[in-house]
Amino acid sequence: MDILIYGIINSFSLALMAIGFTLVYGISRLPNFAHGALYVITGFGVWWFVHKLHLNYLVSILLALALMGMIGAAIYRFILIRVRGMATSEIIATYALGLAILEFLRWGGFKGMTYTLPVFIEGSVNIGGVPVDFQRMMVIGIGIVVVSFMWLFTHFNRTGLALRGMAQDEHAAMMLGIDSDRMAVIAMAMGSILAGLSAIVLLPLGNIVVEAGYNVLILSIAVCIVGGLGSWVGAILAAFMIGFLQIITVAYIQSHFQMVVALLAIIVTLILRPSGFFGKQKELEERV
Contact residues for other proteins, defined by CB under 8 A: 31, 33, 79, 82-83, 87-89, 91-93, 95-97, 99-100, 103-104, 106-107, 214-215, 217-218, 221-222, 225, 229, 256-260, 262-263, 266-267, 270-271, 274, 282, 284-288
Q: Of 101 and 239, which has the nearer Cβ to other proteins?
A: 101
Which residues pair with residue 125 across a beta bridge?
Answer: 132
Question: How many residues in the chain?
Answer: 288
CA atoms within 13 A on the CB side of 255: 0
Q: Of 135 and 246, which has the nearer Cβ to other proteins?
A: 246
260 contacts: CB under 8 Å, gap ≥ 6: 249
Q: Of 59 and 92, which has the nearer Cβ to other proteins?
A: 92
CB 234 within 8 A of CB 227: yes
Residue 136 beta carbon to other proteins: minimum distance, rounded to whole angstroms: 23
Residue type for position 55? L
- In sign, the C-alpha dihedral spanning 6, 143, 271, 36 is negative
Residue 78 beta carbon to other proteins: minimum distance, rounded to whole angstroms: 8
Residue 43 beta carbon to other proteins: minimum distance, rounded to whole angstroms: 18
Q: Of 53 and 253, which has the nearer Cβ to other proteins?
A: 253
Residue type for position 136? R
Residue 56 beta carbon to other proteins: minimum distance, rounded to whole angstroms: 32
Residue 33 beta carbon to other proteins: minimum distance, rounded to whole angstroms: 7
Q: How far apart are CA 55 and CA 60, in angstroms?
A: 6
Q: Of 148 and 281, which has the nearer Cβ to other proteins?
A: 281
Q: How far apart are CA 15 and CA 106, in angstroms?
A: 26
Helix (H, G, I), strand (E, B) or coil at 33: coil
Residue 266 beta carbon to other proteins: minimum distance, rounded to whole angstroms: 7
Q: Of 117 and 229, which has the nearer Cβ to other proteins?
A: 229
Q: Exposed/middle/buried for 200, CB within 10 Å: 0-12, 13-18, 19+?
A: buried
Q: What element of type H or E holds 106?
A: helix 87-107
Q: How far apart are CA 278 and CA 113, in angstroms?
A: 38
Residue 92 beta carbon to other proteins: minimum distance, rounded to whole angstroms: 6
Q: Of 141 and 206, which has the nearer Cβ to other proteins?
A: 206
